[in-house]
Homo-oligomer: A and B are copies of this chain.
Amino acid sequence: MSPRTKTANEQLKQKTRQSIVEAAFTLFAERGYAQTSMTLVAQRAGISKGLIYHYFQSKQELLLGIFHFYKQQGAQQLAWDESDSAAQKLRKLIELNFSYLTDQPQIRKFSFQIALQAEVVEGLKKAIEQNKGYWEKQMHEIFRALGYAEPELESIKLTCLMDGIALRYLSVHDYPLARMKQLIFKEYGLL
């Protein structure tokens, strides 16, 4: 009842919530949403099935919860030094994209799956598109600064290229990722 206990409780709750989200996220990305049972999520999270329903009303809510959780994470990492030149920014952005892909392939896999799934969860696709839109806008600015004739189109193109690379990397496993990065750098004069 004391405020200290309340805080401790709150932390414990957050921790449990996070362990559920992490377990579910990994499993959904690896196996797909439909192929992952709540029992499996509970096992991976090291808690009971019933407890998940204390934190998330349903499996769909859990999916939504995952997305919001990781959207926050993703947004934090983009923050860059405003003193960087446009070219430097572009390089960092591309680097970030590739390292993101190799370090946390699950996140990409997960969001691709959601993107291809029609209306699994109302609002989820919209959220993903917004997230993507944010990255594209950053690129748009960069390409404009670099003097590209059609900066918006160019940013869409680069995003698509990187998505295509990610898609291939995630399904085929001996993919020449490093050489593709070099190719892109060369194309944008970043070498």
In this assembly, does A11 line the interface, its C-beta being within 8 Å of a C-beta of chain B? no
In this assembly, does A4 line the interface, its C-beta being within 8 Å of a C-beta of chain B? no
Q: Binding site of A, secondary structure by majority: helix, strand, loop or mixed? A: helix
* A30 close to B159 (CB less than 8 A): no
- How many interface residues does A have (CB within 8 Å)? 37
Q: Which residues of B contact A129 (CB under 8 A)?
A: 171-172
Q: A34-B35, A118-B30, A118-B31 are in contact. Are A161 and B172 (CB under 8 A)?
A: no
Count copies of this chain in the complex: 4
Stretch from A68-76, A77-85, A139-147, A175-183 forming part of the interface with B? A175-183
User: What residue in chain B is nearest A108 (Cβ atoms)?
Assistant: B116
Q: Which residues of B contact A125 (CB under 8 A)?
A: 171
Q: Which residues of B contact A162 (CB under 8 A)?
A: 164
Interchain CA distance A150-B161 in the complex, whole Å? 17
- Which of A118, A159, A164, A183 lies at the interface centre, i.e. has the most chain B CB atoms within 10 A of its CB? A164
* A170 close to B116 (CB less than 8 A): yes
Q: Which residues of B contact A120 (CB under 8 A)?
A: 32, 35
Interchain CA distance A156-B32 in the complex, whole Å? 27
User: What residue in chain B is nearest A50 (Cβ atoms)?
Assistant: B3
- Other than A115-B167, A128-B171, give 4 A-B pairs with Cβ distance below 8 A: A129-B171, A159-B164, A160-B168, A162-B164
